[in-house]
Amino acid sequence: MTSVQLSESYRLRLEQLLADALSIEDVSPSRLHEAMRYSALAGGKRIRPTLVYASGEALGVPIAALDRIAVAVECIHAYSLVHDDLPAMDDDDLRRGIPTAHKAFDEATAILSGDALQAFAFEWLSEPIEGISAQSQLRLIQGLSAAAGSRGMVGGQAIDLASVGQQLTEKQLEVMHAHKTGALIDACILLPSYCSELVTEQQRDSLTRYATAIGLAFQVQDDILDVESDTATLGKQQGADIAANKPTYPSILGMDGAKQKLRELHQEAFNALDMFGSEADLLRDIARFIVQRIK
């Protein structure tokens, strides 16, 4: 099976697992559960869970453990998007080509559905996983909690909101995105390493460097697409960052500088995987996809 076929296989696997895990639409309160499914099952690139599977594949981790992690991180990601789109945050009307949760339902239901998706992620991850010790499972929960909290994704969103209209340095922008985007991507790549006692610190260090590079590359490409793409392709409002007066890589480095930064990060990601053989090919393909994607 090629890396492209494998990536699609993992995406379809995640879609089915997520649909099964959230088969709660008829459970009271039904409107809340409908809103949870609306946001979590709305499609998307599913890069984060695919990274979970790709990292686990490189490390030889059992698929059952990866399934648990993949669903949990996608629920965390879905909740973050629901909250990011709220009027008090980015005030977006479109997400993945459809109305955002607060437009499709209402603001209160959107907030509660995001809260519920976050709680569900940890409920799901705390279920016993065959072949994984309780101690290792606690490390998974701790790692995802840190990545999602004030020292990770939520902290990055707070920095983002405080930076509107501000002139940031490149380093300050990098710190913001290392929290807002990078922390959860780091978790996707590193959490599988806690599921096997055979993983070495050298392997974990290699994956950490890879994760740092692609996490930042993802955001640089996002900033470029916000300028060069269009709303129909992106599935969300093109030019939203410019309209909101947010600092971006093109605004700080210029478009040529941002694209050069993207190329450098791509190379850093590839170099980080030098110690791995073909078992890490899917990770390499994901790095390539991140810098070449059009939405």
Output 201-208 pairs: Cβ under 8 A, ≥24 positions apart. 202/275, 203/59, 203/275, 203/276, 206/272, 206/273, 206/274, 206/275, 206/276, 207/55, 207/58, 207/272
User: Both tokens of residue 77?
Assistant: 């990601």
Q: How far is the C-alpha of 100 from the C-alpha of 295, rounded, in Å?
A: 17
Identify the pLDDT of residue 97.
Answer: 87
DSSP 8-state assignment for residue 149: S
- Percent composition of the chain: helix, strand, coil (DSSP 3-state, to 5): 75, 0, 25
Q: How confident is the model at residue 234 (pLDDT cuts 50, 70, 90)?
A: low
| 65 or 2: which leads in pLDDT | 65
pTM over 0.85: yes
- The closest alpha carbon to 70, from 9, 132, 130, 124, belongs to 124
Q: How confident is the model at residue 243 (pLDDT cuts 50, 70, 90)?
A: low
Identify the pLDDT of residue 2.
Answer: 67
- Residue 193: pLDDT above 80? yes
Identify the pLDDT of residue 230.
Answer: 74
Q: How confident is the model at residue 23 (pLDDT cuts 50, 70, 90)?
A: very high
CB-CB contact of 189 with 162 (8 Å): no
Q: What is the pLDDT of residues 278-287, one digit of tens each?
A: 999 999 999 9
